[in-house]
Structure 1
Amino acid sequence: MNHSSDKISSIQAIFILVTAVGVLDHVIIMPTLLESSGRDAWITVLFSAILFLLWLPIIYVIMKRTHQEHLYQWLKNRWGKVIATIIISFIVLELFLMISMTLRDVTYWANISYLPETPNFVLVITLITVCFYAAYSGIRVIAIVNGILLPVVILLGLFVAIANFQHKDYSLLFPVFEQGLQRPLSGMLYAGSGFVGITLLVIMQHQLKSKIRLLPLYLTGLTLIILMLGPLIGAIIEFGPYEASRLRFPAFEEWRLVTFGRYLENVDFLSIYQWLVGSFVRISIALFLLPDLLLIQTKKKRFYLLLFISGTIIIISQIPISDLQFITYLAKFYLPYTFITSVTISFLFFFATFGKSERMKSQ
């Protein structure tokens, strides 16, 4: 098991979560959410946020009653190896999909926005290599690097929100419910799939030096809500609901509106930093957690497993699919799978914490 010196603080874990889940809420989900709910997308997020805040105590109870032990080890003691392996396999698949979907999305965006002449394969190899090194170096390295990079990401987010104030028309948020509750409700699964990313804290709970308390958990939840709601409202009030729903990367288009008089018109290059930091941390932490979740502790085994996963991801990323097919896959499989898996497993763990372990039953 991990020595105390290899672990991270609760605040470092929360910062990792904000960066890793933030890029999903801020970037990846937005096109799907706007297309499904249109002008009512911000209402969709508010509806989902209410359920999310009601669900958060379940996460807290799980972490408290498991004493933040390693999930796989705890499950084996509670329900036996077979059931534990089945449950963990769903989490492993979720992490694997997290890596592949993030890598594909960010490299595609890089190709169409600022590196159109660079082969996609080169971008994939470069990013996955950096993430591989970070994951192999350990969670403390990821936490330290994230702690250095995240403040600038936050400042840039505030900057683009303030700089675009002149382009904002809040009347475009209304009227709501033009088609009844159908459109707001149709996007709730997508919004929920962004919020349930907070389960990353449970997956990495054994890596924390201190116990997670309920108040910081709620503050983290509110941060995730703001991260989704902010750029979503921004896209609607800056482009209008119809045009916003047609944009592939609404958050990036918001950057392209930023100008400084006649002499400095394009500062959208600053968004590159935000995208790459979020994607780097998201991929790195998922890569790190895959062997960690499977209780693979030796450096040699971790190295080869990470190498195998990275190689597989690279191959998958080069499968020739159109962006329309990717968006369809995102909406029809990845986001629903993430939501259903996270919610189902959270309830399984919640009820498991109140049962007797296999070890206690055998005595």
Structure 2
Amino acid sequence: MSNNSLAQIGAITSMNLRNMSQRLASSIVALIGIAGVVTVLIGVLSIAEGFRAVLEISGSDQVAIVLRSGATDEMGSGLTQDQVRVIADSEHALRDEQGTVVSPELYVVVNLPLFSTGTTANVPLRGVGPQAAKLRSNFKIVEGTDFTPGKFEVVVGKGASLQFEGLKVGQQFRAGNTDWTVTGIFEDGGSVAESEVWTDATVLQGAYNRGNSYQSMRVKLTSPGAMQAFKDSLSTDPRLSVRVFSEKQYYEEQSRILVTLVSTIGKSIAILMGLGAIFAALNTMYSAVSARTREIATLRALGFGSAPVVTSVLAEALLIGLAGGVVGMIVSYIAFNGVRASTLNFATFSQLTFAFTVTPQLLVQGLVYALILGFIGGLLPSLRAAKLPITTGLREL
């Protein structure tokens, strides 16, 4: 491109941008439309990002989850007392002064009302072994005390206590024909455990008539590198028929369905809303071209080429898209980031609490989408302006 062409582009674009105040109302409409699309896009995708973040921080490469062969989650699994003993005896399991660091666990769901709507939703009630806290690296009781083994007592994850009624210290709820007393609230670094209610596994077995059975077993290994050897030792043991996951792998597989679903829905909504924003941008830019018809024709008659005209119109459209994108980024970050909510975990059909997470990557995605909308909205009007016959434009009043 010659220096002359660049000079023409700079001159026309500068003049066009200086005259944007004459089209302020229509420009603001287009800007608000694009900002709204960006806000919705980032808001919906922050749900998927928050869900993914919860499950990612929940997983450890040094903790194994053992399920029945063929099971993909705890709800469809089952382990006997004898199988639990065999797994706990593995040479690859970590041991401390209290014995092997394992937790045979039982998982049921109970219905409790949500604070937000008053409607009931599924809450995970997990029976755990005495060593369960050692398998969650950030576990700590932040209010009240731990449950007493052998009693109908529970401790509640912080996330669950904020989302559901009846889960504050000292309160009771009914599940499995039993009244359970909340003795404490715990945190676990924002992990999936904070969406759960914990009790003694033996007590939960009796309350739900589960005999001596469990559904899963967590095992802390001597090191992350021992995972494959642990898998091999269990798979070759004739007394067992089990599947072994690292905790990280297990939660990654659980997150895949919901993250994909939410991301697809969010992007579909953004595309539909984006069509409306494009029409607003088109209207704005067609109005700009119509108002400048005679001016554009005069410039063309003076020797200005089509490329500078196209560039000037696109520059205005992109500036509107940029401004709308920035506004949408700011609004979505303030409105959504860190807001706590709950959603259905399709792997367990129970509620999972999480925080909306607006990441820098999501903000960049929103800004890029805004620029795309601006570009599409300005493309057709810019081409019309460039192709407008000079004689027709000069006749415009």
TM-score scaled by structure 1? 0.24
Which is richer in helix?
1
Structure scoring higher RCO (CA < 8 A, sep ≥ 6) equals: 1
Which is richer in strand?
2
TM-score scaled by structure 2? 0.22
Instruction: Compare CA radii of gyration and give the structure with the larger one.
Output: 2
